[in-house]
Structure 1
Amino acid sequence: MAGATDVSVLYVNDDAELLELVARRLEREDDRIGVRTAESVDEAEAVRTDHRVDCVLSDHHMPGRTGLDYLRSIRENGDDVPFILFTETGDEEVASESISAGVTDYVIHRAIGDPSPLLARKVLSAVEHERAQRRMERTDRKLRSLASATDDVLWIFSADWQELHFINSAYETVFGRPTEEIRSDPRSFLDRVHPEDVDRVTEAMARVSDGETVRIEYRVNRSEEFEAWVESRCIPVTDDRGEVDFISGFSRDITDRKYYEKSLVEKNERLERFASTVAHDLRNPLNVADGNLDLAREEHDSRYLETSARALARMDDLIDELLTLAKRGATIDDRAPVEFESLVRSSSENLLLSEATLEIDDSMTVRCDPGRTVEALENLLRNSVDHAGESVTITAGVLEDESGFYVEDDGPGIPPTDREAVFERGHTTSDHGSGFGLAIVSQIVAAHGWEIDVTEGPDGGARFEVTGVGLDPTGIEA
């Protein structure tokens, strides 16, 4: 046998001269092929015991056990090694039996001519096909092992949802029914969907079939006593022509998350009612104090009265911002696509920016809760005015990678040691600030699932970057 080769062939033939000739010709024909030889089936089995063999090339007419006998014994042992029957005479009965026994190919050895080009092509083709099959089987085993280890339902449907190509065992836990039922009737999972949600789910399925990626939350009745919440994410996979070939995705149980969200909403509602009551109780004596202060200032001119007036005004601001913090801090209303420039313009309407300059560098569509996003931007603008002065230049724009937006100013900036603390409630370095403005910004950003970071702008001022927004020209979240 030649040195190291990619494909190891075992050639079996009781004719020693022909054995050597074919082996040499095969190795000469393609240097990827190395040939081992055996003059009988028994000798061939011994060779396979001691050496790796990628393909068996065997004569049929041999004393004792024939090539067909050898093929049958190999296949009976569950061995799928490529087997090419290479015989001098064509025999329809032998050819038919060899096909039934699982032969890879059947080649007649002509008396005249060199068969090595044909044999080399068939050997290499058979071996590559078998290796590809093994790779696919290994990959399939790995994927199935991974699928069985996750709590999520992994699935693949045809483009019209009429055929189920794959589903893992987690379906039984999440939907409360055996996988055999959905395999026999792929759309039967709809039977478990809450009646009030079936139309929404069906409409979402149609959108995916049309090529749209969809995420949907809906209720599932696992039993008469138990109702669960499920989130499904569906991804259409297209072919070379851009048409939907199949639909893949996953479904997961989000019941605990939905219950947590519900309890959080209830908690926030209680907090808002409590804060409103406290604010009302505080404003009554505050109004009395403010009114009496005005009367006193009409009769007396004193810097102490001016100081008291500023203190009362700050108390009023504190009450407003405490109410804002208490209102739905961890939740947002439905998102809508809004132009970033429009959000910034709206946020500046409630601020006195007569001496300040507001520049909007770029704009794209943001999918957000418009009211709360405007509120966050308003607080960022106010922060610049409070800390950089009324003549500050504020710039708002879209980040270069379009992952979010920024607001920056040309003021003194925020020292690196203070950048983590600025979002804490009550933290302020301004004589006029309440310390709640940036805390509100952080809360609104978190409620959207975004992230905010403070850094230094090109002019040394404060720069706030909000990322994870998922900006794109169509207004769909990335």
Structure 2
Amino acid sequence: MADEDRITVLYVNDDPQLLDLLDTQLRNEDPRLDVVTAETAARGRELLDDVAVDCVLSDYHLEASNGVAFLRDVRDTHPDLPFILFTETGNETVASESIEAGVTDYVIQKAVGNQAPLLARKITTSVEHRRAQREAERTDRRLREIVSVTEQVLWVFSADWSELQFINDRHEALFGQSTETLRDDPASFLERVHDDDAERVQVAMEHASGGEPQVVEYRVEKSDAVQLWVESRCRPIRDDDGDVVSIVGLSRDVTDRKVYQHELVEKVDQLEEFAGTVAHDLRNPLNVADGNVRLVADEHDHERLWTALDALGRMDALVEDLLERAREGERVGERQCAEFAELITGSYENVHAPGSSLDVTGSIALDCDVTRVMEAFENLIRNAVEHGSSDVTITAGVLADDRGVYVEDDGPGIPASERERVFEKGYTTAKTGSGFGLAIVERIVDGHGWSLDVREGTDGGARFEIVVGDA
């Protein structure tokens, strides 16, 4: 038997015969029990200082004292040590005093019969309960030590969100709200959520209570001058019967990512506008110069004129190349041959959307900038997860005649009246995110010389078709 399974019991009784009898009976009843005995409360107190005792069993009538007085003395130094009072009387005053002093259990001694089985059960139950509590406290301390170094908020709520069971100190930094306030009113964090996002967060909470893992992004207003974007991921915890008993999750600040997406699109727009202006302003004088030189060359066949025309032609080619590079905006770099199935699977793993699923039905080789194409696929997958339920099914496959590929989901879909607008910067049908995800997808597809279209999916969700032509 392992040492950690053994239970040391201190039995105090001023009758040596009863000490010996119950000692023997308890050991015979449960081999885990090691009994140390004392005939006085004073000796029992000494043994508590010398021996690692798991439970105290004390008679009420003791020489020069009584069990309740001994109990009070023990509680001064061992406030949670299991203490069972074993007495011949059922006096209500004794019972009341024992409970007030913090007794763990109270057993009436019978004149005839072996009560060792009952006492053994009460002793082991009390000790195992205390050990479980201490292990839970150790686990809680270790968990708090671990989460104290993370930048994310780790939290655990009851299944109906009415009780906050655990949260680390990062909540206050992220939400600008004390953990005490949240513990007193677990729903109070919704007061920090932007009005336009609150309903979506509440829907996600309801789905989580129903057993569905969730990923949701929303704005948090810490003060009048500070607004953050927060991403929360949660998973329901079930008991042995399959019922949801709690919700565990992580929340993190994703403001930088949102700002980066916004700035990226703005910079690309500025570059395109600049390049278009430069190209237009240069081409006009180039056309004038080219036309006049050609007129002179028609009348005077001179080598220098043809040299000038060649230089003007190279300048026109440079302007065209500048415009093309600006339109691509570094979205498309060196291309290589890659299998669509591998690209979409890798993109799905990068998004990390627990609860969802990916079904790849076919594959073709794509000549592409792998990094940029995976970024586009990640945005399509993230769009499906954020605009549908967390258990959304994503299907990816090949268009007829291998002319391209598609990515579709079984979510709510996109109304026909909105499909022309979904690629506009800042537009989103679910009021979530910055609205740049699909705009970036369109830019990457255009940069490859491909075309992108959105349709209704097989199961009514959104279907994005990418036609790659000869790719």
Same fold at TM > 0.5: yes
Q: State the match for 2:399 in structure 1.
A: none
Q: 1:160 & 1:107 partners in 2: Cα distance?
A: 40
| Structure 1 residue 251: Cα displacement | 2.1
Q: Note the alpha carbon deviations across 1:214-247, whole angstroms, 9 max, x for none.
A: 2222222211122222222233334455454333
Is the contact between residue 59 and residue 85 of structure 1 (CA under 8 Å) also seen in structure 2? yes
Describe the shift of the 1:212–1:316 C-alpha distance in structure 2 as closer, same or farther (beyond 3 A).
farther
Distance verdict in 2 for CA 1:239–1:18, change over 3 Å: closer
- TM-score, normalised relative to structure 2: 0.61
Q: CA deviation at 1:8?
A: 0.8
How far is the alpha carbon of 1:407 from its aligned partner? 5.4
**Structure 2 portions without partners, runs of 5+:** 295-313, 350-359, 380-391, 396-407, 412-471
1:81/1:251 Cα in 2 relative to 1: closer, same or farther (>3 Å)? Answer: same
1:294-352 alpha-carbon deviations (Å, 9 max, x no partner):
xxxxxxxxxxxxxxxxxx9x99998898467426x3xxxxxxxxxxxxxxxxxxxxxxx
Q: CA deviation at 1:36?
A: 0.9
Query: Is 2:334 the partner of 1:326?
Result: no
How many percent identity over aligned positions? 47
The 3 A distance-change label for structure 1 pair 72 and 142 is same
Structure 1 portions without partners, runs of 5+: 293-311, 330-374, 385-393, 410-436, 451-469
**Which residue number in structure 1 is paired with residue 138 of structure 2?**
138
1:395/1:213 Cα in 2 relative to 1: closer, same or farther (>3 Å)? closer
Name the SS of the counterpart of 1:196 in structure 2: helix
1:33-432 to 2 correspondence within 5 Å? 33-273=33-273, 322=325, 325-326=328-329, 329=331, 397=341
Instruction: Check whether the contact 1:5–1:33 (CA below 8 A) recurs between aligned residues.
Output: no
Q: 1:441 aligns with which of 370, 378, 382?
A: 370
Query: Do the aligned partners of residues 55 and 206 (structure 1) sit closer, same or farther apart at CA in structure 2, a change above 3 Å counting?
Result: closer
Q: Quick one: structure 1 residues 123 and 261, their matched pair in 2 at CA, closer, same or farther if it must change by over 3 Å?
A: same
Distance in 1 (CA, whole Å) between partners of 2:326 and 2:231 is: 33
Q: Take 2:320 and 2:187, find their aligned partners in 1: how far apart are those partners?
A: 57
Runs of 4+ displaced beyond 6 Å: 277-286, 314-321, 401-406
User: What's 2:18 paired with?
Assistant: 18
Question: How far does residue 32 in structure 1 lie from its aligned partner after superposition?
Answer: 1.0
Shift of 1:56: 0.9
| CA distance, structure 2, for counterparts of residue 28 and residue 78 of structure 1 | 28
Distance 2:237 2:283 in 1: 60
1:119-161 Cα deviation digits (max 9, x unpaired): 2222111111111111122222233344444332333334444
Distance in 2 between residues matched to 1:8 and 1:253, nearest whole Å = 51
How far does residue 7 in structure 1 lie from its aligned partner after superposition? 0.7
Q: 2:329 is aligned with what amino acid?
A: A
1:321/1:91 CA distance change after superposition, 3 Å: same
CA gap 1:215/1:16 in 2 versus in 1, 3 angstroms: same
Instruction: Point out the more displaced range, 136-145 or 52-61.
Output: 136-145
C-alpha contact 1:12 1:39 (8 A) present in aligned 2: yes
| Aligned 8 A contact 1:275 1:326 in 2 | no
Distance in 2 separating the partners of 1:261 and 1:87: 75
Deviation, structure 1 residue 71: 0.7
Give the counterpart letter for 2:42 in structure 1: D
TM-superposition CA deviations, 1:368-419 (whole Å, max 9, x none):
xxxxxxx99xx98xx66xxxxxxxxx986579x997776569xxxxxxxxxx
When residues 137 and 397 of structure 1 are mapped into structure 2, their CA distance, relative to the original with a 3 A threshold, is: closer
Displacement of 1:213 after TM fit? 2.3
Distance 2:410 2:144 in 1: 33
User: Equivalent residue of 1:252, what SS?
Assistant: strand
1:6 aligns with 2:9: no
Higher mean displacement: 274-283 or 200-209: 274-283
- Encode CA deviations 1:153-211: one digit per residue, 9 max, x unaligned: 33333444444344333222212233343333333322222233333333333333443
What TM-score, normalized by structure 1, do the two folds share? 0.61
Aligned partners of 1:174 and 1:253 also within 8 Å: yes
Report how many residues are paired.
348
Aligned equivalents of 1:125 and 1:205: distance in 2?
38
Q: Which amino acid aligns with 1:206?
A: E
Tell me how far apart the structure 2 counterparts of residues 441 and 10 of structure 1 sit (CA, whole Å). Answer: 72
Query: Matches of 2:283 and 2:87 in 1, distance apart?
Result: 105
Residue range with higher mean Cα deviation, 265-274 or 119-128: 265-274
d(CA) in 1 for partners of 2:241 and 2:324?
A: 56
- TM-fit CA distance, 1:6: 0.6
Tell which deviates more after alignment, 198-207 or 48-57.
Answer: 198-207
| Structure 2 Cα separation of the partners of residues 234 and 4 of structure 1 | 36
Cα RMSD over matched residues? 4.2
Give the Cα–Cα distance (whole angstroms) in 1 for the partners of residues 196 and 149 of structure 2.
32
- Following superposition, the deviation at residue 280 of structure 1 comes to 7.7
* Conservation of the 8 A alpha-carbon contact between 2:272 and 2:323: no
CA contact (8 A) 2:271 2:326 kept: no
CA change 1:255–1:82 in 2 (3 A) is: same
In structure 1, C-alpha distance between the alignment counterparts of 2:96 and 2:328, rounded to whole Å = 83
